[in-house]
Amino acid sequence: MSEPMTGLTRSHRCGELRSSHIGQEVTLMGWVHRRRDLGGLIFLDLRDRSGTVQVVFNPKDDPALFKKAETLRNEFVVAIVGPVEKRPEGTANAAIATGEIDVKAGQLRILNAAKPTPINIAEDQTVDEGVRLQYRFLDLRRPSMQQKLILRHKVAKAVRDYFDRQDFLEIETPMLVRSTPEGARDYLVPSRVNPGKFYALPQSPQLFKQILMVSGMDRYFQIARCFRDEDLRADRQPEFTQIDVEMSFVETEDVYRMVEGLVAHVFKTVMQYDIKLPLPRLKYSEAMDLYGSDKPDVRFDMRMHEVGDLLKGSTFAVIEKAIADGGVVKAMAVPGMAGASRKDVDELTAQAKTFGAAGLFTVALTGEGVKSSISKYFEESVLSKVAERAGAKAGDLVLLMAGPRMQVVEPFGKLRLELAKRLKLMKKDDFKWVWVVDFPLFRFNTEEQRLEAEHHPFTSALPEDVHLMESEPLKVRAAAYDIVLNGNELGSGSIRIHQRAMQERLFKAIGLSAEEANQKFGFLMEAFEYGAPPHGGIALGLDRLTALMSGVDSIREVVAFPKNQSGVDPMTGAPVEVSTDQLNILSIGVKQPAVR
């Protein structure tokens, strides 16, 4: 059941028609969104990407055409020709842009019929994600999904417009690169013309954008595809897109200003949302001490406060040991939870332990006074001071943890977020930004008993800390910075190393021999010897930015054709096995994993 489009040219898109078009004959093409038979008339909602318009079939005008319209079903692809008319008095629909007019059907061509769909396009219902991904071509017809991809397009365009005005060059970097396994696992690509050798898909354009600075490009950006072979989750895909930026002759303040200008421009252009600049900043150590996270969500307060000095000298062994061992005692006020039952507190304690906490203590500011799980160790006046320092008010519950610093602040930070979700303190349309700065340059890998780079091994140390590189490397701070939006690391960057001697010092600190460093990064270090300028930059996640602007939790919602959490594309079936002939051409074989 299909007819040719021959002789018809679409004059308008469905969502474009307004009262100003009344009297014009139009040719529309799209999908049947809904069909309603009412009072001897057929009303058809015709949809394309621009929106919907109502088409009316009247049997008195053309009985044969009306009979043909009776065969239409949802998702049929049709062409309609007819005049635009004003809707009868009292029937206008203010909910849609085309609600003041109808199109009176004069011609109908069924360009393609459709089977009943496993996804209801007309109703924005919750659908199992497996079904959505399998039938992504239908899922993407849903207006809500199309709006997300339209928003993504607008974000990308705003990014390009901004950087063009700032005199940046958009330069593509290679997709087939050398494997440098220093971060996540690489996706490897065998070379047919070089048997036994492999390319890697880029985890980021990091080395190439530094080479571009050495090349004198001065200001570079790219909306770059990147690939990492790592475990997947809602905010992670094996292939993702980042806004990649690099500049020559800059310091951290220059990068902050440029990036702040970018996000302000994007939000104003796409959402008419004003971002107050400059953005606030937190040192890494402050972020951990106050929020228990290096990507703090600052839409709500509930900060941690050190209270060890108020509780020192008691008979409570847990707190005394924490203080004696150089640990911390942290308190956090939870609004309105003073009435939490014993069961509620036990559940919170169990939750805290799953996050790695040793235990949890409470102080409740009730109408009957202060009630606490540790009241037998402390006077009420002391517990009141703890609550006051935590910022608690009447009706609030104060939580306390004690122990080694990181074993307190990290679990406390996770519990903070869990409580904020329960109390609905995080609004998706409330955008709160913060820079996190002064990260450590190194972290200690306890499994491998060695230092490794906190960000990546091309990050500069702060000049005042360079002298500690060999003697006290864990005290060295990096000229690195993250931009955080609503508790999500939106972007990460740094001032880069641009001198060979300094790069070799850092490689040596993380246990990379001169021979290994030269084998993996020799081309970069050689480039540094030919006049490399000081440079720095950042990479921001386009997928994550669009998801946050759309108010969704998963970046799969804003990626046209994502993989599921197993790295599989349910629509195409990728990845798939390939033939022995294909493997032979590439001079490789497949080894089946051992059965466990």
* Angle, helix 143-165 to helix 252-271, in steps of 10 degrees: 140
Per-residue pLDDT of the chain (596 residues; tens, 9 = 90+): 689 999 999 999 999 999 999 999 999 999 999 999 987 999 999 999 999 999 999 999 999 999 999 999 999 999 999 999 999 999 999 999 999 999 999 999 999 999 999 999 988 788 999 999 999 999 999 999 999 999 999 999 999 999 999 999 999 999 999 997 666 899 999 999 999 999 999 999 999 999 999 999 999 999 999 999 988 776 789 999 999 999 999 999 999 999 999 999 999 999 999 999 999 999 999 999 999 999 999 999 999 999 999 999 999 999 999 999 999 999 999 999 999 999 999 999 999 999 999 999 999 999 888 999 999 999 999 999 999 999 999 999 999 999 999 999 999 999 999 999 999 999 999 999 999 999 999 999 888 889 999 989 999 999 999 999 999 999 999 999 999 999 999 999 999 999 999 999 999 999 998 898 998 899 999 999 999 999 999 999 999 999 999 999 999 999 999 999 899 999 999 999 999 999 999 999 998 887 66
Q: Write down the pTM of the prediction.
A: 0.94
Residue 77 forms beta bridges with which residues? 31, 112
At 381, which helix (H) or strand (E)?
A: helix 380-389
Q: Cα separation of 289 and 306, whole Å?
A: 8
| Residues 6+ away with beta carbon under 8 Å from 527 | 210, 211, 214
Nearest 5°: phi and psi at 282? -135, 135
**Torsional class of 180: left (φ above 0), alpha (ψ -120 to 50), beta (otherwise):** beta
In the numeric block, which tokens belong to residue 315?
Answer: 């008979």
Q: Quote the radius of gyration of the chain (alpha carbons, Å).
A: 30
Q: What is the dihedral of CA 133, 128, 559, 208, to 10 degrees?
A: -80
In the numeric block, which tokens belong to residue 360?
Answer: 């949890």
pLDDT digits (tens, 9 = 90+) for 406-441: 999 999 999 999 999 999 999 999 999 999 999 999
Output the DSSP codes for 5-73: -TT----S-GGG--GGGTT-EEEEEEEEEEEEEETTEEEEEEEETTEEEEEEE-TTT-HHHHHHHTT--
Q: What is the dihedral of CA 556, 562, 567, 573, to 10 degrees?
A: 140
Question: Which residue in this structure is represented by tokens 């009316």?
Answer: 56
In the numeric block, which tokens belong to residue 536?
Answer: 């720095």
Q: Cα separation of 201 and 186, whole Å?
A: 7
Please tell me what DSSP assigns to residue 124. Answer: -
Q: Cα separation of 222 and 202, whole Å?
A: 14
pLDDT at 39: 77
Render the burial of 306-344: b for 16+ CB within 10 Å, e for the rest: ebbebbeebebebbbebbeeebbbbbbbbbebbebeeee
- How many other CB atoms are found less than 10 A from the CB of residue 450? 12
